[in-house]
């Protein structure tokens, strides 16, 4: 549901803000001997119901590297009252207790919903979205949370550690942080509070010889999983086994973990194949940066750095807050 509602509108709003960014290199770009580019594209979340009728989705992105961006989206035939000015607010909570409001220069994108038609609606409805933009943090590997109020409801949208920082200037320093925790303001939540955990992070790893485009959907509910998406416009045989893919994780300590392929299936659009690998888990308490390597036919390799929030056991989500009776 999220990919159908939030992503097309997010792409349109990218044009409104600054045009489409150049596609990232298939390989991680080296900035210096100890700093790398972190080429993530989107953090996805489950679709939610709002007041029993509207679907509500959240989407987080690096806004082409300019700032941390939250898209709040719903589907409606007319501009939705739920996103009208005065009925919705957003703040960003960081692990150190700092709370940030939306900068004044970006208030216009948040106070007025923008609607985009997908051209496939039978009732004339559109996807409406507002944008909340926040400056990058200076932290290296700390989690953060968006606090979003819509009417009486409050949504705590989780951002895994390693993503609240400038993706063009990532330090590789490790810290002894252990699994993520909740924001200090989340110590006790009531009946109108909703904790929204992330589902997966998408990386676009670019094009390979032979016309293949490779992307990665990385999830970590408890044990890490890597979904490799192969895309090709002209793919007459639609083979499950050609080309062959493989995934391995090169950890910060130099150890290598090979992914175990557990699922291969063709996507209904006829141009994509999904190969899913399990990476197992590590209960190490260190927060660090590692590298995912994806090989296609053993001759072409895509690489990206990822934070350990995306693969270490129980490092994916903060502990569930205590709720008031």
Which pair of tokens denotes residue 68?
């941390």
Q: For 30-54, what is each residue's pLDDT tens digit?
A: 333 355 789 999 999 999 988 766 7
Least confident of 40-44, 80-84, 118-122, 289-293: 118-122
Q: What is the pLDDT of residue 5?
A: 46
**What pLDDT was estimated at residue 121?**
60
Percent of the chain with pLDDT over 70: 86
Residues 149-208: tens digit of each pLDDT? 999 999 999 999 999 999 998 888 899 889 999 999 998 899 999 999 999 999 999 998
DSSP characters for 268-284? Answer: TTSSEEEEEEEEE----
pLDDT at 7: 55
Determine how many CB atoms are found less than 10 A away from the CB of residue 122.
Answer: 5
- Residue range 134-153: average pLDDT? 92
The residue that leads in pLDDT, 269 or 142, is 142
Query: For residue 126, what pLDDT is reported?
Result: 85
Q: What is the pLDDT of residue 123?
A: 65
pLDDT at site 15: 46
What confidence score (pLDDT) does residue 3 get? 43
- The domain 200-310: what is its CATH number? 2.60.40
Structure tokens, 165? 């920082």
Give the highest mean pLDDT range of 132-146, 192-206, 239-253.
192-206
Max mean pLDDT range (33-37, 59-63, 84-88, 315-319) = 59-63
Q: What is the signed CA dihedral for 167, 185, 58, 54, rounded to 10 degrees?
A: -170
pLDDT computed for residue 22 by the predictor: 36
pLDDT for position 263: 96
Q: Kindly list the strands in the beta sheet with 99-101, ordered across the sheet, starting from the edge strand earlier in the chain.
A: 99-101, 88-94, 144-150, 153-159, 193-196
Q: Which tens digits make up the pLDDT trace of 258-309?
A: 999 999 999 988 889 999 999 977 778 899 999 999 999 988 999 999 999 9
- Tell me the domain boundaries of the chain: 2-20+43-196, 200-310
Whether the pLDDT of residue 62 is over 60: the answer is yes
| Comparison of pLDDT for 163 and 233, the residue scoring more | 163
* DSSP 3-state of 198: coil
What count of other Cβ atoms lies within 10 Å of the Cβ of residue 35? 14
Four-point Cα dihedral 12, 102, 150, 203, nearest 10 = 40
d(C-alpha 230, C-alpha 7), whole Å: 19
Nearest to 306 by CA among 249, 221, 227: 249
Closest Cα to residue 291, out of 201, 172, 140?
172
Express as a percent the part of the chain with pLDDT over 90: 54
């Amino acid at each position: 549901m999220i990919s159908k509602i939030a992503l097309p509108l997010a792409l349109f709003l990218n044009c409104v803000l600054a045009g489409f960014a150049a596609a990232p290199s298939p390989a991680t770009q080296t900035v210096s001997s100890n700093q790398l580019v972190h080429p993530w594209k989107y953090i996805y979340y489950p679709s939610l119901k709002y007041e029993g009728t509207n679907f509500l989705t959240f989407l987080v992105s690096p806004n082409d590297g300019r700032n941390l961006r939250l898209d709040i989206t719903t589907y409606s035939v007319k501009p939705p009252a739920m996103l009208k000015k005065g009925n919705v607010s957003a703040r960003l909570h960081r692990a150190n207790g700092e709370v940030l409001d939306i900068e004044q220069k970006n208030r216009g994108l948040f106070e007025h919903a923008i609607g985009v038609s997908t051209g496939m609606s039978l009732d004339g409805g559109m996807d409406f979205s507002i944008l909340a933009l926040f400056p990058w943090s200076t932290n290296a590997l700390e989690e953060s949370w968006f606090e979003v109020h819509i009417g009486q409801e409050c949504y705590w949208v989780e951002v895994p550690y390693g993503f609240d920082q400038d993706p063009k200037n990532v330090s590789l320093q490790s810290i002894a942080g252990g699994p993520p925790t909740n924001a200090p303001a989340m110590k006790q939540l009531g009946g109108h509070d909703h904790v929204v955990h992330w589902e997966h992070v998408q990386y676009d790893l670019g094009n390979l010889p032979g016309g293949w485009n490779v992307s990665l959907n990385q999830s970590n509910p408890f044990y890490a999983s890597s979904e490799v998406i192969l895309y090709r416009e002209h793919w007459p045989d639609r083979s499950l086994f050609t080309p062959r893919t493989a995934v391995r994780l090169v950890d910060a300590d130099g150890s290598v973990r090979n992914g175990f392929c557990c699922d291969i299936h063709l996507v209904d659009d006829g141009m994509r194949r999904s190969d899913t690998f399990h990476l197992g888990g590590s209960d190490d308490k260190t927060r660090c940066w590692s590298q995912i390597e994806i090989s296609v036919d053993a001759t072409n390799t895509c690489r990206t750095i990822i934070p350990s929030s995306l693969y270490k056991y129980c490092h994916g989500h903060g502990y569930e807050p205590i709720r008031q009776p």
